Structure 1
């Protein structure tokens, strides 16, 4: 096979692969997926993640002794706000009707684990909203405690957000007669 034949075969494979793309075309155009023809379903997604902190920082959170205020309440508010605004920050993400958001924060010796459950009824899922809630909520925790986490050089040697993932996804079709 010559170099020209290799290029032709490569471009044909690329063209076939881009025909299957839902958000972009081979020419670089972007589009939102049309979900208008899909039936409504009750949907629920749960995501979780954690922020690793110094044990003394976790104790300060637990005792509500952080200079900026109530870390857990502020993180919950941030998570809920992020869920409601996901469509504004993730390209091609649909604006969906959020019917419920639940947050849970579990403090361990050196971590805070945030779980966000999102519910909607509609034609597309809510996993991105749950993930956005978790990442924003954990970032709020970081912002609230960053003074306690900085070392003498102004760095954050122990603080890190990790293990963010979707842990549950449910979908139940809604019959509308």
Structure 2
């Protein structure tokens, strides 16, 4: 249920949504932002706090119009060597990271937070990746629980690791996926 707006017409949960996204952005050390040098984390946080009404209007406009400004989608690809021990002639020794605009990362974080709030009850308890509270250790405990809970003498397990799945995927499918 949406709370009533304050005297200024701003809904408290919208302010909270922007502040949470900005705070998470500031705390995230691996955020991959294009303008990290131009807009340091603390500067973004200070700007958002100083002119929060305008920042809120900007993000509310994006959400209401279902728009993600084109400039915020422009990315710069950077290729990094995974570590010094890797063979430099092997393409799998490198990782591609994509640097995005600061303001777009904050909008992205807001959208992810909203989706997570909506989807929290609809996700399968068998899903262990990509969602909070589901780690590799949790998946392994579930496997052990199933094995220990069976009366059978033998148990068959099939484990699949798609090594380099994203690196080796068809680029057309990745682009248009």
Same fold at TM > 0.5: no
Higher helix share: 2
Higher strand share: 1
- TM-score normalised by the chain length of structure 2: 0.21
User: RCO (CA 8 Å, sep 6+): is it higher in 1 or 2?
Assistant: 1
- TM-score normalised by the chain length of structure 1: 0.21
